[in-house]
């Protein structure tokens, strides 16, 4: 491995998009620090990454929603003495259902994972990133960040937050070594739909979804080029461009209609 780009910390790296991003980063010369809850799956990704980057891969099993999780991760990154040059805020979850019927606590936990955790990790790890000559923050939002979405009200809201926060932070960090990139993927075939309780949408996900590897490749390339925002996949980019031409209310109705059709209204 000829290039050494320092170390990238990736959350949600045990499977899906996070694992694919970790492997792509390893391929591009980053050492990787991998965080998720499932030790065995993390170890599997660690071994794959190590084979790509000369053994520079470590894991930390942590539930990001545990009260001490951010402290543990920061202590691990600082204590390692390794040069941190990238933070990938990837761990996240969806939740499919009507706001008024989903348990409030479950919805609040999703909001914490999708918003509070990336904010806390970024705030606490920025001083380490700023020590590097060049460093990156890669935040994973979603195409649902671009419009309101019935049955995923808080998920799309949380991803809109990630996108807006990323773009604002990017401007604040101009003139520093740290660049911020936000990725807005469309459907990616991972464990996401099952965990979100969206099995009724699986046929669509399989039809239009992408494998994680090409999405990860696009995301890492955009990060290295210092782009503000990227939507992986041509069809997805065309969709977002068309949405930009149409009235917001029409976009909301069309997108929400696809989801509402598969989820009967409560009491219906």
Ligand X SMILES: NC(=O)c1ccc[n+]([C@@H]2O[C@H](COP(=O)([O-])OP(=O)(O)OC[C@H]3O[C@@H](n4cnc5c(N)ncnc54)[C@H](OP(=O)(O)O)[C@@H]3O)[C@@H](O)[C@H]2O)c1
Contact (CB, 8 A) for 35 and 14: no
54 φ/ψ angles, rounded to the nearest 5 degrees: 75, 30
Look up residue 233 and give its two tokens.
């996949």
Q: Classify residue 93 by burial, with Cβ atoms within 10 Å: 0-12, 13-18, 19+.
A: middle
- What stretches of the chain show up as alpha helix (H) in DSSP? 16-27, 39-53, 69-80, 104-111, 117-129, 153-172, 192-195, 202-208, 212-225, 234-245, 248-260
Question: Is residue 88 within 8 Å of residue 25, measured between CB atoms?
Answer: yes
Judged by CB, which is closer to ligand X: 91, or 224? 91
DSSP state of 125: H
User: Least CB distance from residue 162 to ligand X, whole Å?
Assistant: 8
Nearer Cβ to ligand X, position 84 or 163?
A: 163
Whose Cβ is closer to ligand X: residue 1's or residue 76's?
76
77 Cβ contact list (under 8 Å, min separation 6): 9, 33, 84, 125, 128
Helical pair 212-225 and 16-27, crossing angle rounded to 10 deg: 50
Residue 183 CB, shortest distance to ligand X, in Å, is: 8
> Measured from the CB of residue 14, what is the shortest distance to ligand X in angstroms?
4
CA distance 229 to 222: 8
C-beta of 4 vs 208, nearer to ligand X: 208
Minimum CB–partner distance for residue 43 and ligand X (Å): 11
Q: Count CB atoms within 10 A of the CB of residue 102.
A: 17
155 in catalytic set = yes
Pick the closer one to ligand X by CB: 38 or 106. 38
Buried-exposed string 215-238: b where 16+ CB fall within 10 A, e elsewhere = bbbbbbebbbeebebbbbbeebee
Nearer Cβ to ligand X (85/187): 187
Distance from C-alpha of 150 to C-alpha of 257, rounded to nearest angstrom:
8
Kindly name the residue from 7, 136, 146, 155 that is annotated as catalytic. 155
What residue ranges bind ligand X (CB under 6 A)? 12-18, 36-38, 41, 63-65, 90-94, 113, 140, 142, 185, 187-188, 190-192, 195
* Catalytic residue annotation: 155
């Amino acid at each position: 491995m000829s290039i050494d780009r320092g170390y990238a910390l990736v959350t949600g790296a045990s499977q899906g998009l996070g694992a694919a991003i970790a492997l792509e980063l390893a391929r591009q010369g980053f050492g990787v620090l991998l965080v998720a809850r499932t030790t065995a799956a993390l170890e599997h990704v660690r071994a794959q990454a190590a084979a790509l980057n000369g053994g520079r891969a470590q894991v930390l099993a942590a539930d990001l929603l545990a009260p001490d999780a951010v402290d543990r991760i920061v202590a691990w990154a600082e204590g390692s003495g390794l040069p941190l040059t990238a933070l990938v805020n990837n761990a996240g979850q969806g939740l499919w259902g009507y706001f008024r019927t989903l348990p409030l606590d479950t919805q609040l936990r999703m909001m914490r994972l999708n918003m509070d955790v990336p904010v806390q990790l970024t705030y606490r790890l920025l001083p380490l990133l700023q020590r590097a000559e060049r460093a990156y923050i890669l935040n994973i939002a979603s195409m649902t960040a671009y419009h309101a979405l019935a049955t995923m009200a808080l998920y799309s809201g949380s991803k809109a937050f990630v996108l807006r926060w990323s773009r604002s932070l990017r401007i604040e960090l101009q003139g520093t070594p740290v660049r911020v990139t936000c990725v807005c993927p469309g459907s990616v075939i991972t464990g996401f739909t099952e965990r979100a309780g969206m099995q009724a949408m699986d046929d669509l996900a399989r039809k239009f979804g992408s494998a994680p590897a090409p999405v990860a490749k696009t995301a890492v390339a955009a990060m290295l080029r210092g782009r503000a925002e990227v939507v992986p996949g041509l069809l997805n980019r065309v969709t977002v461009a068309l949405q930009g031409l149409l009235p917001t209310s029409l976009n909301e109705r069309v997108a929400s209609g696809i989801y509402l059709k598969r989820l009967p209204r409560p009491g219906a």
